[in-house]
Amino acid sequence: MSDDFNFTSPPFDQLRALEREQLRDALSVGYYTVDEVLLEAGAPVPCLFVLMKGVIEERGEDGRLFAQYGAEDLFDVRGLLSGSSKHRYQAVEESIVYELPAAVFHQLCADNPEFARFFRADLASKRQLERRDGQNLAEFILTRIAPEHLLPAIEVEPTLPLGDAARLQLSRGADALLVREDGALGIVTRTDLMTAHFRDGFSEAQPIGPLAHRPLSHVELGDFLFDAMILMTRQRIERVAVCEEGRVVGLLHLTQVLSLFSTHSHVLALRIARAESEAELRAAAQTLHTLIATLAGNGIRLRFIMQLVSALNEQLLERLFELQVPPVLRGRCCLLVMGSEGRAEQLLKTDQDNALILDDGLPVEQGLLLMQRFSAALLEFGYPPCPGGVMASRPEWCKPLSEWQRELRELPLQGRPEQLMRLSILADAWPVAGNRRLFDSLRESLGELAGDSGRWMSDLALPALQFDTPLTFLGQLKTQDAQLDVKRGGIFPIVHGARVLAVREGLEERGTLGRLTALKALGVLDESLVDNLVESFELFLQLRLRQQLDGKRDGREQGLDVSRLSRHERDLLRFGLHTVKKFKQSLTRQFHLETR
C-alpha cells in the first residue's frame, strides 16, 4: 500500500528519488477502531502519522478538543520535534494511517533541509516551498534582463542628418538611435526616419533632433523581463532603454520579450489602442478572461498577473473615455477608478467602481451625462453596476475638484460614518483618463490627513475588525456547508488595515502589497508579520481565482469550497487566517480599538 503514497503533496514533493525509496521502505500502515488511542499525552512519539481515511481527534488531558484531522493531514509533528506528545490522539471513526518511524523522519530532515524547513517554517517560507519553476511561463517570469537580450545603444548628436542616421542604423544593425539634447536622452526609431522622409518630406540633410521621443522609458539591467513587458504595455511602446548605474547600456525590443513570452498580452493592448468603435473595444475586453486563465494555468504569481491585467484594464477604460468624451472636455475632467481596480488588484471583472473629478468651471450636469453613457457601455462590456452606487454616473461621485477638497477638509472635524466610508474608497483612487493634474491636487489634500491622531482615524480603522476570522475556537477552518468567505474573513482585513495605516502615514503606494512593504520599511509593522501578510494575501487571491476560473468566471464570487482544497492548501489557508488574526491584534493596539 506504500506504493500509493502521495509524493506530489508538500512537503513530500521535496524528497529526492532515493529519499522517496527510503520513505517507502520504512512506511507501515496502521488500522485503528473507533475510540482506539494512537498516542497518549506525555508519551514518546514513535512516528509521523499521515491519515489516509477516517477522523482523528487531538484532546488535552482535561478532555478539551484541540483539533480534528481528516484525510492527508499530518500529526504529531510538534511531538516529534519536542520528544513527546502534548495531547492524546484518538480515533473517532475507523481510521487508516501511514506511519513513518521517527528515526527515518529525523534522518530525512537531516538529509534534506527543504523537507525539514516545511515543518519549522512560517507561512511565507511554506509558500516559497510550494512554488515550482517549471519549463513554462513561470520560468519567463523569473528571467532577468541580461546583456545578451540587448540591442546596441548608439548615442548621436541632434544635428546628425537624417540620411546619415539611416545609414548608421543599417551599418550597426540597430533599429533605433539615442539622441541627447540639453542633457536629456530621446529615441528615434527606424520607423520615425522612414515616416519623416517618405511621408512628411524630410530631406536627407535635415537633422534628426526634432524627431526624438521624450522622456526615454527605461528599466535596469537585472530587472525582470516581465517588468519590461508591463512597462511597454502601459506606455504602448516597443522599445525601452536598459540602464546600469545611471548609464544606458542597450535597448530591449518587444520582439525579444515576446519570443520568450507568448501570452499575446501585447496583441490585446494593440487591439485596445486601435479600437475605433465600442464594438471593437468590447470584443477586445472579452478576451481578458482567456489571458488571465492562461497566466494562472501556467503558474504565474498573482502579483505579476495583477500588474498586467491592471495595465490592460486601464487602457481599456482610457480608450472608451477617448471614444466617448469630446477632446475639448478631456482636459477639464479626470476619470478615477477605485476598489480593486484602483489598487491594481483586479483580476476577473467585478462591479464598476469609478469617479470623476471636474474642473471647477465644468457644469456637473454635463459630467453626469458623459458618465451615464460611460457606465452604460461598461455594463455592455460585462462590468455590472456597483450595488453601493460608487460610480461616476452618480452625483456624489461626480464633482468639481473644490467639492472633493472641501469634503476632505471637513472630515477631521465631523468624522461622520458616510464620510469615513467615502474616504476609505477614495484612498484607493487612481487616474486612468483625462487631466491627471486634477488627481494630483486631490492626492495632496488626502496627504494632509497624515499624522492626524483624532478619533476619526480609529473609526476609520474599525471596519478591519468588522468580520470574524473564519477559524474555530480550536484554530481550525470554520466553514458553513464547506464554504468559507475568503474576502470578508481574509482579504478585506488585510486590504483595509494596510489602507488605513497608509492614510495615517501619508503613503502614496498604490496597492496593498506596496503599502505593506512601505509600512515594513517604516517600522510600523513587524517584518515577519508583513512577510506572512503578503503571502497570505496572494494565497487568498490565488485560491479564489482558481475556483472562479473553474466556475462562472465571475469576479464577484467570494466563497471558497474548502472541500475542493488539498490538505496542503487547507493547511496554508489556516496559517494565512491565523496571520490575519495577528494583524487585527496589531491594528487593535495601534488604533486603541480594545474597547470599541
Residue 351 lies in a domain: yes
267-271, 370-374, 552-556, 578-582: which range is least confident on average?
A: 552-556
117 and 159 fall within a common domain: no
pLDDT at 375: 94
- 546: three-class secondary structure by DSSP: helix
380 and 414 fall within a common domain: yes
280-306 pLDDT, tens digit each: 888 888 878 777 877 777 667 788 788
Instruction: Characterize the bridge pairing of strands 28-32 and 95-101.
Output: antiparallel
Which of 390, 415, 449 represents a domain boundary (last residue)?
449
Instruction: Characterize the bridge pairing of strands 65-69 and 95-101.
Output: unpaired
Banded pLDDT at 136 (limits 50, 70, 90): very low
438 and 469 fall within a common domain: no
Query: Contact, 143 vs 260, CB < 8 A?
Result: yes
369-383, 431-445, 545-559: which range is least confident on average?
A: 545-559
What does the DSSP assignment read for 221-256? Answer: TTSBHHHHHHHHHHHT-SEEEEEETTEEEEEEEHHH
435 and 482 fall within a common domain: no
108 and 201 fall within a common domain: no
472 and 541 fall within a common domain: yes
150 and 229 fall within a common domain: yes
Residue 400 lies in a domain: yes
Query: Contact, 419 vs 410, CB < 8 A?
Result: yes
- What are 112's three cell numbers? 534534506
Residue 137 lies in a domain: no
pLDDT tops 50 at residue 264:
yes
pLDDT at 183: 83
pLDDT tops 80 at residue 135:
no
pLDDT at 552: 64
Residue 283 lies in a domain: no
58-97 pLDDT, tens digit each: 888 888 777 778 778 889 888 898 889 989 999 988 999 9
Residue 269 lies in a domain: no
pLDDT tops 50 at residue 423:
yes
Q: Looking at the 3D structure of the chain, how many domains does it have?
A: 4
527 and 424 fall within a common domain: no
Which of 414, 449, 484 represents a domain boundary (last residue)?
449
Mean pLDDT of the chain: 86
Q: Which domain holds residue 493?
A: 460-591
Give the predicted TM-score (pTM) of the model. Answer: 0.67
Residue 280 lies in a domain: no
- What are 124's three cell numbers? 511565507
Angle at 475 between CA 122 and CA 559, to 5 degrees: 90
Banded pLDDT at 3 (limits 50, 70, 90): low
Cβ burial 31-68 (10 Å sphere, 16+ → b, else e): ebeeeeebbebeeebbbbbbbbebbbbbbeeeeeebbe
Which of 64, 93, 127 represents a domain boundary (last residue)?
127
The residues, any chain, with a CB within 8 Å of residue 591's CB and separated by 6 or more, are: 457, 458, 461, 462, 500
CATH of the domain at 435: 3.30.460.10
Any idea which residue has 498580452 for its cell? 265
- 580: three-class secondary structure by DSSP: helix
Residue 282 lies in a domain: no
Instruction: Characterize the bridge pairing of strands 95-101 and 88-91.
Output: unpaired
What does the DSSP assignment read for 109-147? Answer: HHH-HHHHHHHH--HHHHHHHH----SSHHHHHTPBP-G
Residue 222 lies in a domain: yes
- What are 536's three cell numbers? 497570505
pLDDT tops 90 at residue 47:
yes
- Tell me what the mean pLDDT of segment 578-591 comes to: 94
CATH of the domain at 31: 2.60.120.10
pLDDT at 266: 60
CATH of the domain at 209: 3.10.580.10
pLDDT at 351: 84
Which of the two residues, 553 and 107, has the higher pLDDT score?
Answer: 107
pLDDT tops 80 at residue 142:
no
Banded pLDDT at 164 (limits 50, 70, 90): very high
